[in-house]
Amino acid sequence: MSSSQHHIVLVPGLFGFAQLGGFDYFVHVEEALGQRFAEAGLECDFVLVSSPPTGSIVRRAQVLLESVDAACGKDDGPIHLIGHSTGGLDVRLAASPTGRPGLPDWFDRVETATSISTPHYGTPLAHDLTTMAGRRLLFAISLLTFGTLRFGGLPLSALSPLIASLGKIDDALGLDIKILDRTIDLLLSFLSEEGLGEVRDWFDGIRADRGAVIQLTPESMDIFNAAVEDNSRVRYGCVVTRMPVPAPVKFASGIFSPASVLSAALFTTLYLGASRPSSVYPSPTPAPEVGDFLAERFGEPVEPSSNDGLVPTLSQLWGDIIWAGTADHLDILGHFQGEKDTRHTDWQVSGAGFDESDFDDAMDAVADFLLRPS
């Protein structure tokens, strides 16, 4: 392995961003991996990719390639690609030699491709999100994501119309698009001029291009997997997450704010949507030894319906299993309610119980994978 500085490229998932309105999406991952590389006596820098929030995988992968070319093209340091959720598919496409008219100079320096909670075989939830009602739910998710991560929670004045529109959990897909538009405008009014433009562009991007949502159906991923070949020079690894079936009564005592009520309702709706495996294009059944390992990690066998609130657990398997554990889709990035570190913000109220020790354990495993000799 080269002694040059390592480049760790971080690719966000659906609704993800590098930095938005003053918030760094991967802040906890950067700090954790940076510390572990320093302890190993190695230098690393982080490349944050500003992917189109819901744009097609091809467009997102092109942005990834351009970002790596700009940041990593002038030295000989090893390159590690890490993608969360849909970002893991961007990583696979960018690392693949398939159908390339020419490979960039840095291409052979890519050593690892890590996917975190990635829908390699699609998610049935994508079908729901392609409908008109599903588009409205997309806006609600994006609002809650940004508002909670940026402000620690949406202002009550912004939450009230959303909660009134949601009503019962069963009616969560019946959101009024005009209410969402007004809520976005209200939310933006809490921002200073600095960063306002990029946040509005982010919301506009979600409105204008939802190509990735369509491409995340199990049917579309069947084509993706047939067409995109792995790179034989790259080590592939995955971080796998799973949640028990939501039981609101278990964590209702921890809900103190309207934002948490809305988040819990959305999580339950999303979990149920992701729990319906495709009868025609299901995720492959893992090898017996892999199934046994996952059952040990989760305390019970993984079923086709098992998921982390967005992505089926069996859909997340690709390459070596780096780490597997109970977490919701964003816990694994450090977005949970921390007791020791109050900078952790939990926008997805799921009752996972994921904490600092779990996060440290996962980051230890990811760092070990990146630093393993080729």
C-alpha distances in angstroms, 220 versus 262, 281, 303, 306?
31, 10, 22, 21
Identify the three-state secondary structure at position 156.
Answer: helix
Residue 357: count other Cβ atoms within 10 Å of its Cβ.
Answer: 9
54 falls within a domain:
yes
For residue 101, what pLDDT is reported? 74
Q: Could you read off the pLDDT of 245-254 as tens digits, one per residue?
A: 876 544 444 4
Half-sphere exposure at residue 121, Cβ-oriented, CA atoms within 13 angstroms: 20
- Sorting pLDDT into bands at 50, 70 and 90, what band is 142? low
Which domain covers residue 290, as residue numbers? 6-126+213-371
123 burial (CB, 10 Å; 0-12 / 13-18 / 19+) is: buried
β-partners of residue 319 are none
Closest by CA to 238, choosing from 342, 152, 313, 334, is 313
Report yes or no on 232 lying in a domain.
yes
In a domain, 161, yes or no: no
Q: What is the mean pLDDT of residues 349-370?
A: 91
Q: Do residues 206 and 181 lie in contact, with contact meaning Cβ atoms separated by under 8 Å?
A: no
Write the pLDDT tens digit of every residue in 281-336.
999 999 999 999 999 999 999 999 999 989 999 999 999 999 999 999 989 999 88
What is the model's pLDDT at position 349?
64
- For position 258, what pLDDT does the model report? 55
Task: List pLDDT tens digits, range 66-98.
Answer: 999 999 988 899 999 999 999 999 999 999 998
Tally the domains of the chain. Answer: 1
Residue 13 lies in a domain: yes
Q: How confident is the model at residue 128 (pLDDT cuts 50, 70, 90)?
A: confident
26 falls within a domain: yes
**Residue 129 pLDDT > 50:** yes
E-assigned strands of 262-357? 320-326
pTM above 0.85, yes or no: no
Identify the CATH number of the domain in which residue 63 sits.
3.40.50.1820
User: Which pLDDT score is estimated for 259?
Assistant: 57
Average pLDDT over residues 143-150: 60
CB distance 297 to 289 below 8 Å: no
Q: Which pLDDT belongs to residue 365?
A: 98
pLDDT band at 131 (very low <50, low <70, confident <90, very high): low
Contacts of 225 (CB under 8 A, 6+ apart): 120, 121
Give tens-digit pLDDT for 178-217. 545 555 565 555 555 555 566 666 666 666 666 778 899 9
Give the model's pLDDT for residue 221: 96
* Weakest-pLDDT range from 16-25, 166-175, 275-284: 166-175
- Point out the least confidently predicted range of 50-59, 60-69, 352-361: 50-59
Residue 342 has pLDDT above 60, yes or no: no
DSSP track, 11-32: E--TT--SEETTEETTHHHHHH
Q: What is the pLDDT of residue 217?
A: 94
Q: Is the pLDDT reported for residue 374 higher than 60? A: yes
Rounded (10°) angle between helices 132-151 and 258-274? 140
Distance CA 42, CA 51 (A): 28
Mean pLDDT of the chain: 80
Q: Is the residue at 164 inside a domain? A: no
DSSP string, 306-329: -BSSSSBGGGG--SEEEEEEE--T
Q: Is residue 193 domain-resident?
A: no
Radius of gyration of the chain, Cα coordinates, nearest whole angstrom: 20
For residue 295, is it within any domain?
Answer: yes
